[in-house]
Every structure is written in structure tokens, then in C-alpha cells.
A = this chain, B = another copy of it.
Amino acid sequence: MESLGGAVSKGETTRQSILDQALDLSSEVGLEGLTLGVLAQRVGMSKSGLYAHFASKELLQRDVLDAAAARFVDVVLVPALKQPRGCRASRCSSPAGCAGAPRSSPGLPFVAAAADFDDRPGLVRDSLISHLKDMLGAVSRAARIAVEEGHFRADLDTDQFAYEVWGQLVAYQHYRRLLGDPETQARAQRAFRGLIEASRT
């Protein structure tokens, strides 16, 4: 048994490192492109040894998605909520904030997964929808606060605002990954600024 604290079993630590690697890998090839063989190779263990940590590939994918959501909350949402209340909405919903550094953007596996699983029913899709609704709710709530504090228009449809924010995130990822256009970052920021401007009082 573990000593009721930081100590964790060996299995749990490797399981966590598997999940970490899977998160990175799925940022490159997508959740759907995730393969037990190459993941095992990257982690440095045998396929079956890796597989023993998960009941099925679907469960593995779901866990990876949960890990991605957790990372997103930690990296994007929590820092945003530490901002002064008035700035929250724009901070936590900026594509530049979500997409962050070109490398290993926290929102990326999420967007990629959304594309892969939008028509593939199952555990992963359900989990994805659930997380997405949570995130949209968070953005909408932040916008509502901004409305109450007078930074945003009183008649702003905050759900619509969240919709458009997510849309810009998705569009930004598409553009950047497909075209590799360095101008994309500037375009995304301009578009986002336009959205904020249109929501202002």
C-alpha cells in the first residue's frame, strides 16, 4: 500500500507518463491516429506492457482527452481567472492565449479530437462533448461577468460569444496547421480583437 500521501505505486507513475506521451503524440497525429504500437515505442516499453494499463484503446483515448482538458484548465483557464475580473473574458478566450506558444498548445489536441470524433459515436465523443460544454460554459460565464461589470454590452448574448470564441480557436488551428502561414497569428489576433470590440459597451 502507499503511505497515504505523495507516494504512488509504480504502476500509476508509468501510467501517468504514458498519458503524457500520448498527449504529446496526439498533438501530432490526432487522437484517432494514436496507435498502441508507436505509443509504446515512444514511451519505451512493449505494446502489451503498455496496454495492460488500460482496458481498451477507447478508454485510453478517453483518459488522454481528460488529461488534455485538465492541462487546458491548468494552463489557460486558471491563470485567466487570476486576472482582474474585468479582463477575464478576453484573457481566457483569446486564441493566442489558448493556442499559446506555437509548440504544444494546450487546446490543440482538443480541436483535433473534435474533428476526428465529430461523427464517431462512443465514449470519446461523449467525453469530448462534455468537456467542450464545460469550456464553453466557462467562457460564457466569464463574458457574463464582463457584462455585469460594464465592460461588455448589456445585451450581449454570452452563449453566442462563447460560440464565436471557440470558432476562432478552431479556425486558427486549422489555418495555422494547414497553411503554415506566419500571417495567421496576426489574422487570428485581429479577428479576435474584432470580436471583443463588437462586444464592448
Main secondary structure of the interface of A (DSSP, over half): helix
- Which residues from chain B contact A171 at a C-beta distance below 8 Å? 163-164, 166-168, 170-171
Which residue in chain B gives the minimum CB-CB distance to A116? B115
Hey, which chain B residues are within 8 Å of A128, CB to CB?
178
Whether A177 pairs with B119 at a CB distance below 8 angstroms is yes
Q: Mark A120-159, 1 if CB is under 8 A from B, else 0.
A: 0000010011001000000000000000000000000101
- Asked whether any CB of chain B lies closer than 8 Å to the CB of A198, the reply is yes
A194-B187 contact in complex given A115-B115, A177-B119, C-beta closer than 8 Å: no
Task: Tally A residues with Cβ within 8 Å of B.
Answer: 34
Known: A115-B116, A119-B28, A119-B29. A163 touches B178 (CB 8 A): no
Nearest CB of chain B from residue A135's CB, rounded to whole Å: 12
Residues of A within 8 A of B (CB): 28-29, 112, 114-119, 125, 128-129, 132, 157, 159-160, 163-164, 166-168, 170-172, 174-175, 177-179, 187, 190-191, 194, 198
